[in-house]
Amino acid sequence: MEHRKLRAGIVGGGRGAFIGTVHRIAATLDNEAELVAGALSSDPEKAEVSAKDWYLKRSYASFEDMAKKEKMLPDGIDFVMIATPNHMHYPVIRAFAEQGIHVVCDKPLAFTVEEAEEIGKLVEKKKIVFALTHNYTGYPLVREARDMARSGKLGGIRKVIVEYLQDWLSSPIEKEGQKQASWRTDPAKAGISCCVGDIGTHGENLLEYITGIKIKSVCADLTTFVLGRPLEDDANILLRLENGGKGFLTCSQIATGEENNLCIRIYGTKASIEWHQQEPNNLIIKYPSAPMQVMRTNRSQACKEALTLCRIPAGHPEGYLEAFCNIYRNAIADIKALKANKPLARDYPSVHDGIRGMKFVAKCVESSTKGAIWTDL
């Protein structure tokens, strides 16, 4: 393989979108890829204007056209970034995967569990690199927490508490034309869930990623507080873990005064750890009879893998964009490895994590609909 940056394309993420810009920055931050093509909107005029905003070499009116033409070009894209609403993930992934083009997709993986499982089969069949942007796994201290939990430093895991609290849907802003709220609260575009599908899956993914323990069953109470909203904006979920441990996951988009308050606490028989996304450079470590410790990013870390995710000296904040970029860094490394017939590291959320997340959403909805009964995953 020639030595060059990978060429990236993007579907969705045009003017008015938030996550498309995040994907663009994250994919190019390490200078390992460049964005050259896109189908940035289902509105051809908006797609063209958005492509000019980003100085793209090639703009397409449809993702189907983009997938077919990019495959045939000598300088066609190596991978595509998908930043569309949930209902479009499956057809876009399918269009590019069928052409053998690698995929980095925003979460959740698909619109339904059935679509997610079909995507899993297609990814395996085509042998492409597929990364799902559960970006919180890209923080260095989340990797450190994973090392501590899985190496036995915490002892046996007994209890896990995960919170993801926001307030941005406290009022019916979807009725005022707010784009992000409009599709997330619309069952035709978001699917069967708003709050759990949007942010609850981050909590589920973070719990299983750090501990290595699967959620066995859920008892979920989903609530819609804003009148007239067809999907839930708050959820409280009891968890039973496969190792016999217990957990609690709460996510809310009507928690007044909260911004993006994601927090996880893991309690083992030897020690506990606590991490807050709003203070991502601190990992709190507690012992039964010793002073509390605070580990800092790029300082006194024991996990070499976590250190490789740090870009700047200790004391300089590294945050959301850098964590997002770490997903891209590892996926791009695997795309290059695959082209060179080398082993893949697969150190990023995968299509299987995406399937897991979709099943979690479905079972939470099922549990709540049946009166908050225990439901197995």
- Beta pairing, strands 102-105 & 79-83: parallel
pLDDT digits (tens, 9 = 90+) for 230-280: 999 999 999 999 999 999 999 999 999 999 999 999 999 999 999 999 999
196 in Cβ contact with 235 (< 8 Å): yes
Return the CATH number of the domain spanning residue range 139-313+357-376: 3.30.360.10
pLDDT digits (tens, 9 = 90+) for 344-365: 999 999 999 999 999 999 999 9
Exposure b/e, 317-355, CB count within 10 A at least 16 = b: ebebebbbbbbbbbbbbbbbbbeeeeeeeebbbbbbbbb
Q: What is the distance between the alpha carbons of residues 133 and 321, in angstroms, rounded to a whole number? A: 12
Query: What pLDDT was estimated at residue 235?
Result: 98
Under CATH, domain 6-128 is a member of which superfamily? NAD(P)-binding Rossmann-like Domain (3.40.50.720)
Structure tokens of 334?
Answer: 């695997």
Q: What is the distance between the alpha carbons of residues 272 and 285, in angstroms, rounded to a whole number? A: 6
The alpha carbon of residue 245 and the mean position of all alpha carbons in its chain are separated, in whole angstroms, by 25
Q: What is the distance between the alpha carbons of residues 156 and 21, in angstroms, rounded to a whole number? A: 41
SS3 of the chain: helix, strand, coil, percent, to 5? 40, 25, 40
Query: What pLDDT was estimated at residue 358?
Result: 98
Query: What pLDDT was estimated at residue 1?
Result: 56
Query: Nearest 5 degrees, angle CA 58-CA 59-CA 62?
Result: 135
State which residues of the chain have pLDDT below 70.
1
Q: Name the residue ranges covered by the structural domains of the chain.
A: 6-128, 139-313+357-376
Please give the biggest Cα pair distance in the chain. Answer: 64
